[in-house]
Amino acid sequence: MAYDPNESPDRRMRAAQALYAKRRGLHTFEIDIESLWSYRLGRVREQIRRADFACMVLYDPVNIRYATGTSTMPVFSLHFRDRYGFIPGEGPVVFFEKPHFRHLTQGSGRVDEVRPRISCRAATGGANVERNVADWIAEIGDLARLYGGGSKRLAMDHCEPNLAFALERRGFEVHDAQAPMEIARSIKSAQEIECMEVSLAVAEHGMQNMLEMLRPGITENQLWAALADTNIAHGGEWLECRLLTSGQRTNPWLQEASDKPVQSGEVVAFDTDMIGPFGYCADISRTFHCGPAKATARQRHLYALAVEEIRHNTELLEAGAALRDVAEKAWPVPPEYAANSYTFIAHGVGLCDEWPNCYQRKLLEAQGEGEIVLEPGMVLCVESYIGETGGPDGVKLEEQVLVTENGPRRLSTFPLEERLLSV
């Protein structure tokens, strides 16, 4: 198939789809992008109508991508929030783009019209910010009046304080768009699951490369670079963290990769946190063992506990189960490991880490989300960290799991570490 430079990036993930097809023994495989985009926009519009919003105005690049299929420099856009989209319950999706980016957005996803953005940020609006705020309100207000069904309820996932105050002075009610967007994103379509499985296939290919490179003397950063390289080479996008450590640096968890060389006999623990092809997250954790020294009895014991916790808690992810029930039935972390145990039993995942979050029991009650019920189509990552306070190392495992009507289905397939499972 010839390369078309004008084709949407989501259509160009041929290397990733070919890798997935090979790993699954398929002759060909291609995701129905049109169905993907239509489903996601439909979910957003459903939330707009349910809340009687005139519209949503989205600045977060992850929300923008979900609703419109449009993605341009997402990491840059996370801290330079000048691109935004107007989405009504019914009517055209209008995207407001930086002048020099407009050619990247036209014809992409579910965008019906592209207009120049108006910056309400001090960093890019300069001395004209107050005038820009008035122009922004006039333009969005006109669209809201045309397509908002008479509602003055405007939902936004990000809003500069000066813009929020000005909107309220002009009679608009400013509401949070992030909560309804999280609800919209929580139930995945068949095409979203396919995108996620492609991203997982790329992540696991990178993990295999890491395992083959693992030897005494290689640095944590060099190992981590293998995953990043594999992701980019297959059309993936970025890594949200750099969570790869070895030896003593694995305890406590959540330290990031460094130039420390890995030593024989040490464990290497990592969490992919990888935004792969199509923008979907592959969030898997594994703990490897670096030879030629043999794993110690203590290392194998920690690993066995982490495997037990993951397997036990995965089975609890049944459709219809309330998060409170999951937390109450969760694997009991032994007291000596409780202080360092992971905050989440499981958390949602999609284009990134998402809602819902199933915390350990005490934290879940404090969050007030115990009554949230798991539904078919939700995808959650089941977490485990086992390592005593002050211990010489620790074990991190994580699996990505789909909630179905017939029980939980593990989407991540990378094998466990034989050197830590053996007696």
Buried b (16+ CB within 10 A) or exposed e, 311-342: eebbebbebebebbbbbeebbebeeebeebbb
Question: Among 134, 136, 125, 128, which residue's Cα sits nearest to residue 86?
Answer: 136
Q: What mean pLDDT, rounded, does the chain reach?
A: 91
Q: What is the pTM of this model?
A: 0.92
Phi first, then psi, for residue 166 (nearest 5°) are -65, -40
d(CA 22, CA 420): 29
- Taking residues 18-46, what's their average pLDDT? 83
pLDDT exceeds 80 at position 236: yes
Question: Among 93, 103, 109, which residue's Cα sits nearest to residue 5?
Answer: 103
d(CA 274, CA 243): 11
pLDDT exceeds 90 at position 206: yes
Buried b (16+ CB within 10 A) or exposed e, 169-192: eeebebbebeebbbebbbbbbebb
- Across 57-66, 118-127, 320-329, least confident range: 118-127
Quote the pLDDT of residue 279.
Answer: 94
Which domains does the chain possess? 33-185 (3.40.350.10), 188-421 (3.90.230.10)
Do 196 and 282 meet the contact criterion of CB atoms below 8 Å apart?
yes
pLDDT exceeds 90 at position 128: no
Quote the pLDDT of residue 125.
Answer: 60
Give percent of the chain with pLDDT exceeding 90. Answer: 77
- The band of 1, judged by pLDDT with boundaries at 50, 70 and 90, is very low
pLDDT exceeds 90 at position 272: yes
CA 129 to centroid of chain Cα atoms:
33
Q: Considering only CA atoms, give the Rg of the chain.
A: 23
Q: Bigger pLDDT: 99 or 97?
A: 97
The CA–CA distances, whole Å, from 366 to 186, 324, 359, 363, 370 equal 22, 11, 10, 5, 9
For CA atoms 278, 281, 284, 285, give the dihedral sign: positive
Omega before 292 within 30 of 0, i.e. cis: yes
Do 385 and 306 meet the contact criterion of CB atoms below 8 Å apart?
yes
Do 94 and 147 meet the contact criterion of CB atoms below 8 Å apart?
no
Phi first, then psi, for residue 401 (nearest 5°) are -130, 135
- Taking residues 28-44, what's their average pLDDT? 90
What is the per-residue pLDDT across 87-96, written as a single tens digit (0 to 9) for each?
Answer: 999 999 999 9
